Structure 1
Amino acid sequence: MSIKQGSNFYENRLKRFLYKYYYILIMMVFAVILINLFYKIGSEPINDWDEARHGINAYEMIKNSNYIVNTYNYQNDYYNLKPPLSYWAIIIGFKILGYNLVGLRFMSVLSALSTIFLVTIFTYKRFGRIASLISSGVMATSVQFFRSHCARSADADSLYVLLFTIAVIGCIYAYYRLEFIYISGLSFSFAFLDKSWHSIAIVGVVGCYLLVTKLITKINLKQWLIFFLCSFAPIFLWIFFRVRYDGYRFIKEMINYDLLSRTSTALEGHIGPWNYYLELLCNNYILYIAVIFILIFILIASRGMLSSLRSNFAEYIGVILWGLVPLIMFSIAKTKLSWYIVSIYPPLAILLGALAEESISAFKKSIIPIILTVAIICTGGIYEYKLLSILKNSPRDILEEYIKDSKISIKDYDVYIYTPLQYGGADWNQRNILALEMYKDGRAENGGVKAFLKSKKSSVILLNNNDEARKIIKENKLKILDSDENIITAYR
């Protein structure tokens, strides 16, 4: 361990202060974390893609009483090719907190909070209290971690980052006690059931770690068998139940589209150069990256770098691989999306915290530790201001608000939509389908006015509150069921 005991334990006043008031300071950091996680979590509009799709899949699993097959608008979904763990997480939120935005996002928020808590404890145990404070503070102000389909969104990514974190920390602890490798295997299997092929990055990190640390030579046959059982038994159990419903179609689509096509071609226009993620980090994390390089320079200059690496060899190797392997793997893949690398924010935070602990401890009587601490706090403040500004200025979704607030009951109706001025025409988007299902237990139908007029079932249609809508209502002798300044609900 890098923390010296005895008379050298408190070598400077700053370190003494940070160690003495650690618990008060860490509670202040977690207060900021809770604000960043929960501020406007119940009013920020539904994200139109992954969050909406996952929410629909989860809601319809409940309605269908089928927790294996995911459906979209009550048809088997072969577009969202993820195993069911992320849907189950949303279902838990719905069951605990109801069909609302807080219930939708609850497990993602809880997963993010758990990830930061694990980072805090890990750095406390392996590097020291200063590392713990700074790592948790960096995580608290990592804008992409909160915003990019992760902590505050009902996607698969927040739970995936938590499982990734458990897997790597388990692997690092296996350096000291091999049985922890089973935790890594089990976490990988759950990560696959959550995020599908993205979990291969865990295999890359763990595999490289076993090779670099030579742990691979210390695992006997029995331990390998248990490790592989932990890693793959839950996956094959899910596959067994899934193929009973629709054969191997879903599994084949997972392999052909979600793995082979996504890695070899830029799907759905999500293209980018080889350095796409490096540019992303520079745009969103540049100040923290600069601090990391400054800390490395200080440790090299003070001749403390080699000492630090020797005393925490297993930890530094694990953290470095944790950050580099996913970055390289997803840079090679052709499809590029900003949230593909959210798993690297915990190791970046841990690395910064660990280097800060060593740098501050390296000076007995110097102004440098104070300068470093102020620089890190100011950097965190800049990112916190940026994050809160984004949260304060989140957009409105007028149709979602109407569906939520209207008092009408349309549970037994097919619901059509015609809102060409604001929403693009006669078909529903994903976020408003989820709003319709979640708030009104309604069933969305596409086709607009023409399909509505031809329907033989009990139906209503949502229209923009404007002259065109009133003309449609008059010409087709429709009746107004409900309206506000933006939307009209009409029926025949």
Structure 2
Amino acid sequence: MAAISPASRPAGWPYLLLAVAAGSFLLFWKLGSMPAQQWDEARAGIHALEALRHPGEWLVSYYKGAPDLWVVKPPLLRWLQSLCFATLGPTELALRLPSALAGLGTLALVWAAGRRWLGHPAAGLLAALVLATAGGFVTRHVTRGGDYDALLTICTTGAVLSWLGYVASGRARLAWVTGIALALAVLTKGVAGVLIGPGLLALVGATGSWHRLRRPAPWLAAALVLAVAAIWYGLRERAAPGYLAAVWQNEGPGRFGAVIENNEEPFHWYISKMVEAKFSFWLAAALLGYVLGWARPRGSRGWWLTRATAAAAGGHLLIISLARTKLAWYDAPLYPLLALQAAAGLWWAGQAVVRERAWRLRPAVLTGAVLLAVAGPYAARLAQLREWYQRRFELPQLLYGNHLRAQVDQHPELNAYALATDGTFNDSPEYYRQVYATQHQHRIARTEPDAAGTLAPGTVLVACGAAAARPWLQRYQCEVLVRTDSCFTLRLGALR
């Protein structure tokens, strides 16, 4: 926070290591302990497992042996998860590893941007730790889940920061980096990958840098993004027709202009979630950063940074707020940008105090001040992770993986059985069915409550939760082979 001369500034790598170490604990602590979650995470895991079973089908995502036309995301996450499964086995850690590593990479990007645009590696440390403690970033559907949004966020963050560098400096290679980052974002989450685009154009307008668009590099980079998108969607439609129609309905205009699966919220919903929990510790600092940054001298680093984060974050927030379908993780790309601006507000305010009092701060004192500023939010984020861990086995339909592990340990000879669910839609049991079919070559049939009474006596059946087990216990005389929590492995006897 002090005005330190370039000769006296410490090397940046200790600050980067500290940011990586502190962020890694929040990202990786007990990462593999949570069962695969219903909806997107379990579905993504099923796609990755099916990719291992169909090694030649690298274009099409499969669900229960057929092309999936409900979740129609592009393949980048699936490829990475399949690689992790092939290397580490189909574990919960492998399922979430691409997202956690993307989160760590985003922290490193934010650290580098803080160092570059705020002028000191300690400012980069502050920005990275603000991001690590943001409730909208280190959370289950983003960096701690096997979902698409952490990978999307590192791509969009890279695109914004490289575009800022291009607009400020005119270096063509940075425009190309922007194009590559956006192309990867499209390969991660399709249409969502280019929602940051209007914000990039708004940055050009906010800084009066239209002359940068007279060069070929940004247009060639945009052509790269369009070419990658056209090639992917064309190949995917050719491989399994009907894909483009499903994308239109589920991912593009259909999701923007209509409410899908009752996910309708008011216009201000994302802002209210930031205030309540997702960025509550740092929102005032970000607003201060915008006030101070907007008044900084034209052409200064702070002037550029403030306009970049305002344009990109504001544009993305406006688009997702206007969309009729709203989901809690759509705002994930905002938090790296807001973290930079929150760090800027604290850094500039601190600089003003230090200069007023003519203090000279040593690097150790400066680092201590940064760590003290984030200590409370860091403890709160860790407490939230601990609460999630303690409650990880509350939902019975998420317990199949934990129970099947115990079953393999206690009865390794059981390799053919039925898996009974409670009849509600939940992909977590299906994910674990495929895990044990792939990893242990188990023969597992899926069954529902209304099939009770149709299985032959002697069949082994696995059920988790009272709603899944009750129909079978009522219709059969059962021998309990394995029990964990509310899960049972039963040998069905005679009909009652």
Fold shared by both chains (TM-score > 0.5):
yes
What SS does the aligned partner of 1:277 have? Answer: helix
Aligned to 2:462: 462
2:267 to 246, 266, 274: 274
CA distance in 2, matches of 1:77, 1:291: 44
Structure 1 pair 229–444 and aligned structure 2 pair: CA distance change class (3 A)? farther
Residue 417 (1) aligns with residue 414 (2): no
2:66 to 75, 78, 81: 75
CA distance in 1, matches of 2:114, 2:432: 41
1:305 CA drift (Å): 3.1
1:164 CA drift (Å): 0.3
Q: How many residues align?
A: 471
Matches within 5 A, 1:52-451: 52-65=42-55, 66-129=57-120, 130-175=122-167, 176=169, 177-220=171-214, 222-223=216-217, 226-247=220-241, 249-284=242-277, 285-294=279-288, 299=292, 305-307=295-297, 310-362=300-352, 363-366=354-357, 380-394=374-388, 395-397=391-393, 398-407=399-408, 408=411, 413=416, 415-418=418-421, 425-426=422-423, 429-441=426-438, 445-448=445-448, 451=451
CA distance in 2, matches of 1:215, 1:470: 67
What SS does the aligned partner of 1:120 have? Answer: helix
Moved more, 54-63 or 305-314: 305-314
- Is contact 1:262-1:333 (8 Å) kept? yes
What SS does the aligned partner of 1:334 have? Answer: coil
What SS does the aligned partner of 1:364 have? Answer: helix
* Gapped regions of structure 1 (runs ≥ 5): 419-424
Tell me the alpha carbon deviations over residues 48-97 of structure 1, each in whole angstroms, 9 at most, x when there is no partner: 11111111111111112222111222232111121111111211221232
1:197 CA drift (Å): 1.6
Residue 487 (1) aligns with residue 479 (2): no
Structure 1 pair 469–279 and aligned structure 2 pair: CA distance change class (3 A)? closer
What SS does the aligned partner of 1:342 have? Answer: coil
- Is contact 2:286-2:344 (8 Å) kept? no
Query: Which structure: greater helix fraction?
Result: 1
1:487 CA drift (Å): 3.0
- Is contact 1:100-1:439 (8 Å) kept? no
CA distance in 2, matches of 1:233, 1:54: 25
Structure 1 pair 410–255 and aligned structure 2 pair: CA distance change class (3 A)? farther
Moved more, 199-208 or 470-479: 470-479
1:266 CA drift (Å): 2.4
Structure 1 pair 410–147 and aligned structure 2 pair: CA distance change class (3 A)? farther
Moved more, 471-480 or 148-157: 471-480
What SS does the aligned partner of 2:251 have? Answer: helix
- Is contact 2:16-2:108 (8 Å) kept? no
CA distance in 2, matches of 1:97, 1:400: 16
Aligned to 1:422: none
- Is contact 1:262-1:334 (8 Å) kept? yes
- Is contact 2:2-2:350 (8 Å) kept? no
- Is contact 1:3-1:127 (8 Å) kept? no
Aligned to 1:421: none
- The CA RMSD measured in Å over matched residues stands at 3.6
Structure 1 pair 214–55 and aligned structure 2 pair: CA distance change class (3 A)? same
CA distance in 2, matches of 1:78, 1:190: 21
TM-score, length of structure 2 as denominator length: 0.83
Counterpart of 2:247 in structure 1: which amino acid?
A: M
CA distance in 1, matches of 2:16, 2:453: 61
Counterpart of 1:143 in structure 2: which amino acid?
A: G
Tell me the alpha carbon deviations over residues 279-329 of structure 1, each in whole angstroms, 9 at most, x when there is no partner: 0111122331112334566x49xxx93327644443332222122111111
- Is contact 2:420-2:448 (8 Å) kept? yes
1:36 CA drift (Å): 0.3
Matches within 5 A, 1:21-36: 23-36=13-26
CA distance in 2, matches of 1:276, 1:466: 36
Structure 1 pair 127–470 and aligned structure 2 pair: CA distance change class (3 A)? closer
What SS does the aligned partner of 1:180 have? Answer: helix
Identity among equivalent positions (%) equals 20
* Gapped regions of structure 2 (runs ≥ 5): 394-398
1:446 CA drift (Å): 4.5
1:382 CA drift (Å): 2.6
CA distance in 2, matches of 1:308, 1:368: 27
Moved more, 273-282 or 85-94: 85-94
Structure 1 pair 459–379 and aligned structure 2 pair: CA distance change class (3 A)? farther
- Is contact 1:109-1:152 (8 Å) kept? yes
What SS does the aligned partner of 1:488 have? Answer: strand
1:30 CA drift (Å): 2.6
TM-score, length of structure 1 as denominator length: 0.84
Tell me the alpha carbon deviations over residues 150-194 of structure 1, each in whole angstroms, 9 at most, x when there is no partner: 111110001000000111111111121133112212211221111
Counterpart of 2:99 in structure 1: which amino acid?
A: S
- Is contact 1:166-1:187 (8 Å) kept? yes
Aligned to 2:40: 50
